[in-house]
Amino acid sequence: MKTTSMPQTAIRSSDALRDVRYEIRGQLANHALELERRGYEIISLNIGNPGLFGFRTPETMRLAMIENLAQAEPYCHQKGIFPAREAVVMQQQNRGVKDVSADDVFIGNGVSELIDLSLRALLNPGDEVLIPSPDYPLWSAAVTLNGGKAMHYRCAEDNGFQPDLGHIESLITAKTRAIVVINPNNPSGAVYDRDTLQEIVNLAESHGLVLFSDEIYDQMVYDGAEFIPMATLVESTVCLSFSGLSKVYRACGYRVGWCIFSGDKERASEYAHGMELLSALRLCANVPGQWAVQTALGGFQSIAQLVEPGGRLYQSRQAILDRVAASDYLHVERPMGAMYAFLRLDDRFAGRLDDQAFALELLENHHVLVAPGSSFNTVYTDHFRITTLPDTDTLDIVFDRIESCLEQHC
């Protein structure tokens, strides 16, 4: 019997993706791959990926994984293996976080998965989450994908990219469920002082809001800047603190992150149970990488040598600051943490060259890939982000090309 075929329509993506952006690996990054396939050598500064720039995971972590491979073949508990969770607890206790146990720790496939799980377990359609601007765009995307609404609070450059506390308070409504803090900040490199963090905690506690503290760059600070764990300041609300192996331990590909519940855990018991249910649905996180956590957190902290004067991360950051200081076309607020510089185009380019056009021209004509500032949910379009991971010689090449690109517009 002959059947009549029906007209074929395009298979469309979900409407939930309509307002989701992740330009760090978006159209520009795809265009860079096309250029590489055509034979061009691209200097990619759009993402903080230490392994691509010659940084190695500490050898002790690699050995810990190898020695425990036989134990890494079965699924583990949905929250993660006990030695890894207990190592996270010990770190938190050493930092002054009170009343946490291994039951309060969730191990995930990187912090990215845990951000998604924690928002999915919390949000109902239309719930609002306060997120810094500029932000790490995964936070805004994950809120949107889980039915929420991202409300961005100002972290202005003329205030050192510090949170605008008055603006945060003005955004709080009956629908607000949580406040996100990214400290040390990506993309700006700002490190928040104790008073600022305490004020944010006070707002969260007075309005009964959950605190999400993204601390993936916790030990990556410069020039005497102090990282203060948000959880040490929280008493009468719940705080979820996020960190992992990717940045400080240069182990992005291991995909190991963790999230710790602290503060008023009794009030959040149903929420934590929901997150455990979601964790169980995905069975467990990558097990081999979890065996590196105890060695990482309990061993020699080699990051300290990298961020002090003479260390590679410090010197690369200094090279960027020196080149910007010598430029007529660029400005930067000194990054005090993380592995990025958030550069601003001079006012002379206003109305003539925005961040997207600049990034595209820099890629096509000078073969350098950067992330436009508007990718980080800013209302302005005159910034771009680069990672500070390359060595100083590579950075000199990059800034020569940036200067050449901008000179053509002057």
Which of 23-37, 186-200, 309-323 shows the lowest mean pLDDT across its residues? 23-37
pLDDT in tens, 102-136: 999 999 999 999 999 999 999 999 999 999 999 99
pLDDT surpasses 90 at 19: no
Confidence at residue 110, expressed as pLDDT on a 0 to 100 scale: 96
Confidence at residue 220, expressed as pLDDT on a 0 to 100 scale: 97
Confidence at residue 222, expressed as pLDDT on a 0 to 100 scale: 98
Average the pLDDT over 220-226 and give the result: 97
> In the structure, what pLDDT confidence band is assigned to residue 6 with cuts at 50, 70 and 90?
low
Confidence at residue 315, expressed as pLDDT on a 0 to 100 scale: 98
pLDDT in tens, 63-83: 999 999 999 999 999 999 999
* Domain limits, the chain: 15-56+305-407, 69-298
Q: How does DSSP classify residue 221?
A: B
Burial 334-343 (b: 16+ CB within 10 A, else e): ebbbbbbbbb
Average the pLDDT over 220-228 and give the result: 97
Q: Which CATH superfamily is domain 15-56+305-407 in?
A: Aspartate Aminotransferase, domain 1 (3.90.1150.10)
- Rounded Cα distance, 115 and 5, in Å: 44
Higher pLDDT, 21 or 185: 185
Average the pLDDT over 309-327 and give the result: 98
Helix (H) / strand (E) containing 100: none
Q: What is the mean pLDDT of the chain?
A: 94
Residue 151: count of CB within 10 angstroms of its CB:
19
Q: 69-298 — its CATH code? A: 3.40.640.10
Percent residues over pLDDT 90 in the chain: 91
pLDDT in tens, 32-54: 999 999 999 999 999 999 999 99
Q: Mark out the alpha helices in 326-409 (DSSP H runs).
A: 355-366, 392-407
Confidence at residue 60, expressed as pLDDT on a 0 to 100 scale: 96
pLDDT surpasses 90 at 156: yes
Q: Which residue's entry shows tokens 């609002």?
A: 128
pLDDT surpasses 80 at 4: no
Secondary structure (3-state) at 280:
helix
- Rounded Cα distance, 50 and 262, in Å: 30
User: What are the tokens at 39?
Assistant: 């034979």
pLDDT in tens, 161-206: 999 999 999 999 999 999 999 999 999 999 999 999 999 999 999 9
pLDDT surpasses 70 at 21: no
Strands 105-108 and 371-372: unpaired
> In the structure, what pLDDT confidence band is assigned to residue 86 with cuts at 50, 70 and 90?
very high
Half-sphere CA count of 227, side-chain side, radius 13 A: 22
CB 181 within 8 A of CB 197: yes
- Rounded Cα distance, 249 and 315, in Å: 18
